[in-house]
A and B are shown apart, each in its own frame.
Chain A
């Protein structure tokens, strides 16, 4: 003869340690080392949960516990709405070998009535939950990370070879605001590599063609276009819009130095990518925390030693690789995940199919970010490599 529900509950309550909400609040506010585990269903946690709680719905508890709670010796407080599901969940965790489990009593309904600290989940619409589902299921992104992406602003310099793949992937990732600056119009000869544009937009300004394509890929985002060349005259106006990250896919030295100097003074990280024929270089410059472009190359080469892409040619796929790495770096910076390419120059050789890394160091004598800067205002270098 099986047990009745009442008997089963009685048994479970007898074998699980309970903890009062007052004590839970005290531990939370004292910053003591406890992991709160919310075993309610998703539609319940949507209205709020205890700050920092791990979401582990009762139905998935046994399946997901070891993934979400790797330390079986951790101090765990399980809670639900009223204390029943949490008691069963605490029992299940004990059965799985978790040594220090308590069940909060009663639960979140009372917690909320007491106006104890709570957190609400990111406010993503059902359409967003669907569109970004493959991001959200990554623990390193989750709904909170996706919300960060949606609230972030990334400025893309150049809507050409590098800017094409990076803007497409950043738009797809749901970067809420993308800035696109480029003064050119789409030319048929661009289409060998600039996949942001198409045959139907030949003759159209690149920022306009790009905006159309990005909005089609993801109508969720805003695209701000600047149909102009970046110069010392407009760099302040373009940069002072609260960008979280700048992705540099420019095609010439003078502007790259301008971007570097501005980003140091305005404290904006720059994901740098550059290509030449079959080779690419990528690195991430984080102002004052890592080297800058001038630590790496203090001055641009003179025009006669700097052949342009137009003269030199470039393998069409190459910017696809480098621009995509740039987009990856931008997303990582916004999420605060992983190791950025700070202080590392990633060199790609498409013919040999090799990736190599070189160490970059901050130069204490750097003319911009060093101890005694000698460059304190924008420099307009002699223009070259214009198409």
Chain B
């Protein structure tokens, strides 16, 4: 199942500059593992050993997965996954 994942600017160095990539998996955890296979280093930027890092949010469509089933949130074809990191520039 191919899911579209939106990559924010700070992480595009890891995705050869691509702002959108495809990934496979039935839940967020599998999606992230699949991304890591293609773009090594990405997982470490998103997760620590407790789960999604506290300064990164992952959205399934318009909802924050922290308020769904976190990494176990099921995804389906056509879903759009967004990675939303905290940015602080002003």
Residue pairs across A and B with CB atoms within 8 Å: the count is 90
Q: Does A176 contact B (CB under 8 A)?
A: no
Q: Is the CB of A314 within 8 A of B89?
A: yes
Complex Cα spacing A276 to B63, Å? 23
- List A contacts of B88 (CB < 8 A): 250-253, 256, 274, 276, 300, 306, 385
Q: Is the CB of A276 within 8 A of B87?
A: yes
Contacts of A160 in B (CB 8 A): 90
B10 in complex: contacting residue of A300, A307, A352, CB < 8 Å: A307
Closest B residue to A352 by CB, please name it.
B19
Q: Is A37 an interface residue (CB 8 A)?
A: no
How many residues of chain B get a CB closer than 8 Å to chain A's CBs? Answer: 24
Query: Known contacts A251-B90, A274-B90; is A296 also within 8 Å of B57 by CB?
Result: yes
Inter-chain contact B90/A163, CB cutoff 8 Å:
yes
Taking a contact as CB atoms under 8 Å apart, the answer to whether A319 and B90 are in contact is yes
Q: Mind listing 23 A-B residue pairs with CB under 8 Å? A: A251-B88, A251-B89, A253-B88, A273-B90, A274-B87, A274-B89, A276-B88, A278-B9, A297-B54, A297-B56, A299-B55, A300-B55, A300-B88, A301-B86, A306-B88, A307-B10, A319-B90, A345-B84, A349-B19, A357-B62, A359-B62, A359-B63, A359-B64
Given contacts A274-B87, A274-B90, A358-B64, 6 further A-B contacts (CB under 8 A): A163-B90, A251-B88, A253-B86, A274-B89, A276-B9, A345-B84
Measured CB to CB, the residues of A under 8 A from B are 158, 160-163, 248-253, 256, 273-279, 281, 296-301, 305-309, 312, 314, 319, 345, 347, 349, 351-352, 356-361, 363, 385
